[in-house]
Chain A
Amino acid sequence: DGGITQSPKYLFRKEGQNVTLSCEQNLNHDAMYWYRQDPGQGLRLIYYSQIVNDFQKGDIAEGYSVSREKKESFPLTVTSAQKNPTAFYLCASARRQGGDNEQFFGPGTRLTVL
């Protein structure tokens, strides 16, 4: 089955620790995205990538880092510099950037900082 997987589903971390969220897709999509969703708020774009070895900052990139070494994988690292990291993190992919290409989402990772 084709799709997007994210792991872990729930993640707890102590303040001051970096943590990496996994996102893998087997849809052969070029574009991948990371969003953050807070209660009662819409999705906010953290980073996106159009092709391997290339990525751009979204609206709220501070305190986060990404890599795109393989087409299938787009991991997100939440660093200790992120001041309010507790949120629901969603990874998405699209066949290509922009246009009429809808985004497909993974099941998300709920990060809680203790």
Chain B
Amino acid sequence: RKEVEQDPGPFNVPEGATVAFNCTYSNSASQSFFWYRQDCRKEPKLLMSVYSSGNEDGRFTAQLNRASQYISLLIRDSKLSDSATYLCVVAPNTGNQFYFGTGTSLTVIP
């Protein structure tokens, strides 16, 4: 079983739509969670960390559900510039490595 699993999409949504991505993780001891954004042929960049209580940054809301072992990303009022691949990342509190999902592709259509 993979450490982190994401629906690869693609998600094609019209401008102004609300879209949500989910990501499941297998290690219940995981402590740190992130969403990264990766534009085509570019490096991933941190979009936001995911906190236990959930957190919001403008149009973006991230939530963590430890009981079901998933994290989510909600994008409201989608913009053309939101088109990218969104990577879910999970890490233990100590130890070795971060685990990346394969990414969910989003295209916002005019």
Contacts and interface: CB of A to CB of B under 8 A. Distances in A.
Interface residues of B, number: 26
5 contacts: A33-B98, A41-B102, A45-B97, A97-B94, A104-B46
Contacts of A106: 43
Nearest to A43: B100
Interface of B: 4, 8, 31-32, 34, 41-46, 49, 87, 89, 91-98, 100-103
Contacts, number: 59
Give the contact-size bracket for chain A. Answer: 20 to 34
Contacts of A48: 96-97
Interface of A is mostly: loop
Contact of B91 (A40, A43, A99): A99
Interface of A: 33, 35, 40-43, 45, 48, 56, 58, 88, 90, 97-108, 110
Contacts of B45: 105
Contacts of A102: 34, 46, 49
